[in-house]
Amino acid sequence: MVVDIAGFQVADWVALVPSLILGVTAMLLFIVDSIEPRPGTSSNTVLAGLSTLGALGAFLVAGYFLVLGVGQPRGTGAVDLFNGQLVVDGMSLFFVVIVGSVTALVTLASYDYLEGQEYQAEYYGLVIMAATGMSLMASANSLATIFVSLELSSLPSYALVAFLKKNRGSVEGGLKYLLVGALSSSVLVYGISLVYAASGSLQLNAVADALAGGSSVPVGILGVGIIMVLLGFAFKTASVPFHFWAPEAYEGAPAPVSAFLSSASKAAGFVVAFRVFLTAFPEVGGLAGGDPMVDWVTAVTVLAVVTMTVGNFAAATQEKVKRMLAYSSVGHAGYALIGLAALNAPDQGFVLGASMMHLLVYGFMNTGAFLFIALTEHWGIGRTFQDFNGLSTQAPLACAAMTVFLFSLAGLPIGGGFISKLYLLAATAQAGSWLLGAALIVNSALSLFYYSRVVKAMWIEDPSADLEVDSYPSSLYAAVVIAAFVTFALLPAFGLLSPSAFDAASVLFG
Amino acid sequence: MAIQTQYFLLLSAAVFCIGVYGILTRRNALVFLMSVELMLNAANINLVAFSFHHGNLTGQVFSLFTMALAAAEVAIGIGIVLVLYRNFEDIDVTKAATMRW
């Protein structure tokens, strides 16, 4: 098969180059490490540079493909690979952009964070391997490839959370992540097996065709299968009911890993959920008109409201900043679920596109906030709100960046988070789902309360006597400042990117 | 006479429920991993049985993938259980509660 990319006739697998770049980078990291295999002997600079370049390469190529129109109706049209097991379209490229940019920021910041650690090569290798899995999740178009790529991103993540293997918190976080992850992946596989039982195939379009037949489909088996698949994705996106690993894993893990998991891994979980439910189960859910066979839209609505509320109320009661951010990331999963919950709106592409844009903005602002925590861990100051008192007297630039992240997460007009939340609200209004809209507004207002506590501690409270910041790690600072700049720039530049999200989304609704 | 497909479904549901029961009641991390293995294999029973029922090989091939991934998951799991033992001198999952469970 041949596709036309920028006037060149190339083989169709070229459309998959962003994911291939990540995979090749992971292999290169292993080769670099095997040259000097004793732990701690490979150069941190080479490893961090190579992984950042690889992630940046994937990000740039995916962005360039989006601009060229690869996989989109105005260009090549969706590129099917391997008999439709993988597909490259606007949505997959959009999410590779998110994963690539988050990974680049995380590996850049890890350079300083890993200073003096023993197993650096393993760390970078696992990060890039997980990123490969996430970018493949964006392209996976069959329940088989979805499961394999989901595991490719999950398994390295378990090891990464437990990376500080002499630190009790890190090991405990890793254990809980592993236990919940193993449980939810077996629930997902069981759900997949039931969907296969009902439809006789795993490829998403074929599943949709088989289920469109109607009368002969065993609705009971299919319904249980769809709900179990939904629960499996709830783990990956840290939504209720499989959210309780998130605060433990994010708090225990090294902060750059928390940033990586809470932004990139969550986005990857959402793209898989979007693709499965909109490609395989639209008619089952009644999106094509008629009565739904299995009303998953209502199930997702319930999950979205509960997830938002649980995440935000739990965040409001936390004493530790990192744990607060972990719960707030659960709350944001609830906001992003609106993309699937408000689908009975007339303009479905707008609803899904709003959710995709929220995940893009969230990728930058949440990564930045966790990288700021990495900075404070590097300085060795404590984890509670009081420990941040007066930090702005020592590190005004980082504190200004953190303020941008937090207010943008809350939805104030200082970063892209404002517009993406506004779009989500417009989506709920379009769908006439007042419950979702009210939950979004109430929870955003509540979130402003606990985000402001950090800002107040940093800027208004007096510093304690022993607060001393002695080093300014350049790569961590660079990552934080870049993330802050992009978060801020997405406020005016939001309109430049949102058309590609809306176009990519509306294609899925044929 | 071939066994009817719904009996396979019953069998796999039973195995799956035993796995869930094990996860909810046992505290040993290794038994926990074994229970997860039961749940994954329950899915494999379904996949193979319905592969036969539908007359295509998709399910059988996918069950091979599931087995391989289950093995990989256990490999990571054992590693984490090992560091758990080194840090907490126990593999009771409820003992690792320095943060909160």
Instruction: Provide the 3-class DSSP secondary structure of residue A368.
Output: helix
Taking CB atoms and an 8 Å cutoff, what residues of chain B touch A169? 98-99
pLDDT confidence tier of residue A443, bands split at 50, 70 and 90: very high
| Alpha carbons A242 and A222: distance in angstroms, whole number | 21
Q: Mean pLDDT, chain A, as a whole number? A: 90
Q: What is the pLDDT of residue A119?
A: 87
Average pLDDT score over residue span A11-35 = 92
Q: What is the pLDDT of residue A2?
A: 81
For the cut 90, the answer to whether the pLDDT of residue B6 exceeds it is: no
Number of structural domains chain A divides into: 1
> In terms of pTM, does the model score above 0.90?
yes
Q: Does the distance separating the beta carbons of B47 and A158 come in below 8 Å?
A: no
pLDDT confidence tier of residue A343, bands split at 50, 70 and 90: confident
Q: Does the distance separating the beta carbons of A190 and B42 come in below 8 Å?
A: yes
Taking CB atoms and an 8 Å cutoff, what residues of chain B touch A194? 46
Interface test with B, best of A166, A177, A186 (most B CBs within 10 A): A186
CA distances from B49 to A8, A200, A254, B70 (A): 47, 11, 44, 19
Tell me whether residue A339 is in a domain: yes
Q: How far does chain B reach from its first CA to its final CA, in angstroms?
A: 51
Nearest chain A residue to B54 by CA distance is A200
Contact status, residue A185 vs residue B73, Cβ threshold 8 Å = yes
Residue A428 token pair? 């709920």
For the cut 70, the answer to whether the pLDDT of residue B1 exceeds it is: no
| Alpha carbons A334 and A5: distance in angstroms, whole number | 37
Q: Which domain holds residue A497?
A: 295-510
Q: Is B3 exposed, middle or buried (0-12, 13-18, 19+ CB in 10 A)?
A: exposed
| Alpha carbons B65 and A25: distance in angstroms, whole number | 24
Q: Are strands A86-88 and A8-11 parallel, antiparallel or unpaired?
A: unpaired
Residue B19 token pair? 């796995």
B63 Cα distance to chain centroid: 13
Beta-carbon count within 10 A of A424 CB: 25
Tell me whether residue A136 is in a domain: no
pLDDT tens for each residue of A476-495: 999 999 999 999 999 998 88
For the cut 70, the answer to whether the pLDDT of residue A215 exceeds it is: no
CA distances from A505 to A47, A92, A278, A432 (A): 36, 10, 10, 20
Least confident of A57-66, A112-121, B14-23: A112-121
| Alpha carbons A58 and A17: distance in angstroms, whole number | 8
Q: Does the distance separating the beta carbons of B98 and A159 come in below 8 Å?
A: no
ipTM: 0.95
Beta-carbon count within 10 A of B55 CB: 7
Q: How far does chain A reach from its first CA to its final CA, in angstroms?
A: 23
Q: Which domains does chain B have, with CATH numbers?
A: 5-88 (1.10.287.3510)
Taking CB atoms and an 8 Å cutoff, what residues of chain B touch A175? 29, 80-81, 84, 93, 96
Q: Among A186, A320, A305, which Cα is nearest to A247's?
A: A320
Tell me whether residue A18 is in a domain: no
Pick the more confident residue, A461 or B98.
A461
Q: What is the pLDDT of residue B3?
A: 74
In percent, how much of chain A has pLDDT > 70?
99
For the cut 70, the answer to whether the pLDDT of residue B77 exceeds it is: yes
Nearest chain A residue to B91 by CA distance is A175
Tell me whether residue A242 is in a domain: no
- Say whether residue A477 is in contact with chain B using an 8 A CB cutoff: no
Alpha carbon of A189: minimum distance to chain B alpha carbons (Å): 6
Put simply, the chain A residues between 248 and 277 with a CB less than 8 A from any chain B CB are: 248, 251-252
Alpha carbon of A174: minimum distance to chain B alpha carbons (Å): 7
Tell me whether residue A101 is in a domain: no
In percent, how much of chain A has pLDDT > 90?
61
Q: Does the distance separating the beta carbons of A194 and B80 come in below 8 Å?
A: no
- Say whether residue A171 is in contact with chain B using an 8 A CB cutoff: yes
Q: Are strands A86-88 and A79-81 parallel, antiparallel or unpaired?
A: antiparallel
Tell me whether residue A506 is in a domain: yes
Tell me whether residue A270 is in a domain: no
Tell me whether residue A128 is in a domain: no
| Alpha carbons A16 and A34: distance in angstroms, whole number | 27
**Matching residue, tokens 């490490």:** A33
pLDDT confidence tier of residue B101, bands split at 50, 70 and 90: very low
